[in-house]
Amino acid sequence: MDKDRIKELDESIKKNNIILTAEEKEDSYYDEINIVKEISNINIQTQGYKFLSLETAAASTKQWTLRYTTFLADYWVENPNLFSKYRWFTGDDRGYNATASSYRTRADVNICFCSAGNSVGLNRSVGTTHGYDKNKKFLKSGTASSSGIDIENLNLGKSKITFKLTYAVGNPLVTSLDIDYYVNAEFYSNGNYKLSGEHDQAPHHEVYLKGSNSSSYQKMHQAATKGLEWLAPPMPNKSWAKSNF
């Protein structure tokens, strides 16, 4: 580990009054990478030195929906800013679920190798934030703009489609750091795909993919929050990748 980075992290933790356990502080010194590669009918996941068996690969398709959702697993979420009148927010009170109706934000990217022409479409949705005082008395609700969710670097080739899904959305009720993520995506007309991305380690993140010949979403990536204080730079992000070739 780079000594200058350790020093920068320690100074940031102290400056932002971030309270971490010894284990959490040790974790903050290292980047996390999660890589999944599908090989034939066997998926091998590498996370550090752990190897886990996952679901089999989906059949080839020429149309997909890529779904990226952020959510707060708890019902009550405490505001790290002790000086804000909004001391509590309500979360989504759920676990990982590709089709859950409660979330902070959701981006659905529709990719198609169609006879009428190749295309990529983006549907954006943002959940409502409810703020409460220290006694959990309701104060106000608000919905953040979805303009921070976008598609960049779109390239519609004959047999290959590439794009970058970018995201930067904050809390509509308070001045706070944005939740940031991005996904670099490659899709091929023969059914192959390759995804790679990076995100803040808050809140919960879940990524799924569904082909036109499938009735359910396949898990691409899931990551639990480490606490809203992990939105503060230079706390490390989490990187991930998954492909079927």
Identify whether 201 is part of a domain. Answer: yes
Identify whether 24 is part of a domain. Answer: no
Q: How confident is the model at residue 40 (pLDDT cuts 50, 70, 90)?
A: very low
Q: What span, in angstroms and rounded, lies between the C-alpha atoms of 192 and 178?
A: 32
Per-position b or e across 185-219, b if 16+ CB within 10 A of its CB = bbbbeebebbbbbbbbbbbbbbbbbbbeeeeebbe
Res 47 pLDDT > 90 = no
Identify whether 101 is part of a domain. Answer: yes
Select, from the ranges 40-44, 63-67, 211-215, the one with the highest average predicted confidence (pLDDT): 63-67
**Structural domain count of the chain:** 1
What's the whole-model pTM score? 0.79
Amino acid code (one letter) for 107? A
pLDDT value for 50? 35
pLDDT value for 120? 97
Identify whether 19 is part of a domain. Answer: no
Identify whether 8 is part of a domain. Answer: no
Identify whether 7 is part of a domain. Answer: no
Q: What percent of the chain has pLDDT over 90?
A: 64
- State the residue range of the domain holding 85: 31-243
Q: What is the pLDDT of residues 71-114, one digit of tens each?
A: 999 999 999 888 899 999 999 999 999 999 999 999 999 999 99
Identify whether 64 is part of a domain. Answer: yes
Q: What is the pLDDT of residues 180-233, one digit of tens each?
A: 999 999 999 999 999 999 999 999 999 999 998 888 999 999 999 998 888 887
Identify whether 167 is part of a domain. Answer: yes
* pLDDT (mean) for 108-124: 95
Q: What is the pLDDT of residues 151-178, one digit of tens each?
A: 999 999 999 999 999 999 999 999 888 9
pLDDT value for 116? 87
